[in-house]
């Protein structure tokens, strides 16, 4: 069999994290694959951090990021740039991951050039086309033109089957985010930020919060921050670490509610490596992020999801996560329960991680090799 030419396309930090194990697996399988990497740089600085951590050098860098960019601009610039890359490399297969605008653009560019598409992390569905926005639509539109659907879980496969995708094109692999964590977690990890090194993770119950989704900005975010703030005030052995998103609207709400509060640490966004190591040390996680819902359970940390719906219900069903919505009372009461009831905390902390065994990248490579026609 001729070697399969694979173009790996990604553009944001979360995509880079989840594609890194696949990039490395392709390099280990050089007898079967010729692989190249194309980054759109839909995000720039945050993407570059991950490339450095994993030692990845892109073969093509579209460098499309512009401050204040719209979804339309991202799509148009990515499509135009990818066309040139496809014409230069002439891949047999393009791999995209997840649900960003880069993913949709990558799949569409591949389709326009009749190149096969592999969708990593396929089959996630929230059931609401506008939440998360635009991710739900991106992943659904990507699925329409995909040849290899790499579903992290059986539920993701079921979602695709309900939409009439052929079963022989769906492969359950686990999630590559678990693979990626193995590369970066260190028992004796030292943070660049003195504040984080000085936190006593053994004696203090540190709550990590990540909150930035567009649909939460405004009253929902005020509810979330107020509930968390009141809980930190109630339990004197707790501290909050909140790496704030760069969005000025998020920061405005954070400063309004958390300003000058004891035991609340508003810090700049963390690179992937320190964020992963911080997650491994904290007591619990409050998040509206997709990735943290998968990563938290790897470390046995309860994850409280402050969104109205989630495309990752496996964590909820397994008991590693709880979906709280954005109402103050729900968030306050759930945090109160976990901080006051050891049994409830342990129940979540010891639940089995539903996102796989850390070998997803290998399963994906094997599925391509074994099913290539």
Q: Which is catalytic among the residues 15, 77, 119, 121?
A: 121
Query: At 157, is the secondary structure helix, strand, or coil?
Result: helix
**Set 15, 61, 99, 210: catalytic member:** 99
Contacts for 308 with CB less than 8 Å, ≥ 6 apart = 128, 131, 215, 325, 326
Backbone angles phi, psi at 222, to 5 degrees: -60, -40
Q: How far is C-alpha 29 from the geometric centre of its chain's CA atoms? A: 26
SS (H, E, C) 298-352: HCCCCEEECCCCCCCHHHHHHCCEEECCCCHHHHHHHHHHHHHCHHHHHHHHCCC
Active site residue 32: no
Does 43 participate in catalysis according to the annotation?
no
Which one of 15, 61, 135, 295 is the catalytic residue?
A: 135
- The answer to whether the peptide bond before residue 40 is cis (omega within 30 degrees of 0) is no
Residue 252 among the catalytic residues? no
Q: Based on the number of CB atoms within 10 Å of its own CB, is 130 exposed (0-12), middle (13-18) or buried (19 or more)?
A: exposed
Distance of CA 334 to the CA centre of its chain: 24
**Of 113, 245, 263, 308, which is the active-site residue?**
245
In the set 44, 113, 205, 214, the catalytic residue is: 214
Q: How many angstroms separate the CA atoms of 85 and 101, rounded?
A: 17
Question: Virtual CA dihedral for 165, 170, 176, 177, nearest 10 degrees?
Answer: 30
Q: In what order do the strands lie in the sheet with 264-267?
A: 264-267, 238-243, 205-210, 284-287, 303-305, 321-323
- The crossing angle, in degrees rounded to 10, of helices 45-54 and 13-28 is 30
The sign one gets for the Cα dihedral 283, 287, 291, 297 is positive
Quote the distance between the C-alpha of residue 350 and its chain's center. 22
Q: Closest by alpha carbon to 177, among 295, 276, 293? A: 295
- Confirm whether 135 is a catalytic residue: yes
Residue 149 annotated as catalytic: no
Exactly one of 77, 212, 213, 307 is catalytic; name it: 212
CA distances to 82, 150, 152 from 356, rounded to whole Å, are 32, 13, 8
Residues identified as active-site: 99, 121, 135, 212, 214, 245
């Amino acid at each position: 069999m001729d070697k399969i030419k694979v173009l790996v396309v990604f553009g944001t930090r979360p995509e880079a994290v989840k594609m890194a194990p696949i990039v490395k697996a392709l390099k280990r399988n050089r007898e079967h694959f010729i692989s190249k990497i194309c980054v759109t740089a839909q995000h720039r600085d945050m993407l570059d951090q991950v490339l450095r951590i994993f030692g990845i050098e892109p073969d093509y860098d579209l460098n499309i990021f512009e401050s204040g960019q719209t979804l339309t601009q991202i799509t148009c610039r990515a499509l135009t740039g990818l066309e040139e890359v496809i014409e230069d490399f002439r891949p047999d297969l393009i791999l995209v991951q997840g649900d960003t605008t880069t993913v949709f653009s990558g799949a569409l560019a591949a389709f326009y050039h009749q190149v096969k598409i592999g969708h990593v992390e396929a089959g996630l569905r929230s059931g609401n086309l506008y939440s998360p926005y635009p991710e739900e639509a991106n992943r659904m539109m990507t699925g329409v033109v995909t040849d290899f659907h790499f579903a992290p879980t059986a539920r993701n496969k079921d979602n695709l089957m309900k939409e009439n995708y052929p079963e022989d094109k769906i492969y359950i692999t686990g999630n590559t985010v678990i693979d990626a964590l193995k590369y970066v977690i260190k028992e004796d990890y030292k943070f660049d930020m003195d504040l984080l090194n000085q936190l006593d993770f053994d004696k203090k119950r540190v709550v990590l919060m990540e909150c930035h989704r567009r649909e939460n900005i405004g009253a929902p975010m005020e509810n979330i921050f107020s509930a968390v703030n009141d809980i930190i005030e109630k339990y004197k052995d707790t501290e909050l670490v909140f790496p704030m998103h760069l969005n000025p609207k998020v920061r405005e709400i954070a400063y309004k509610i958390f300003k000058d509060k004891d035991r609340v640490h508003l810090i700049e966004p963390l690179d992937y490596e320190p964020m992963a190591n911080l997650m491994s040390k904290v007591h619990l996680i409050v998040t509206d992020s997709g990735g943290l819902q998968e990563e938290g359970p790897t470390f046995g940390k309860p994850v409280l999801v402050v969104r109205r719906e989630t495309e990752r219900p496996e964590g909820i069903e397994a008991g590693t996560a709880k979906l709280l919505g954005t109402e103050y009372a729900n968030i306050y009461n759930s945090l109160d329960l976990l901080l006051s009831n050891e049994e409830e905390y342990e129940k979540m902390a010891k639940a089995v991680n539903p996102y796989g065994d850390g070998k997803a990248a290998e399963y994906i490579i094997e599925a391509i090799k074994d099913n290539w026609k």
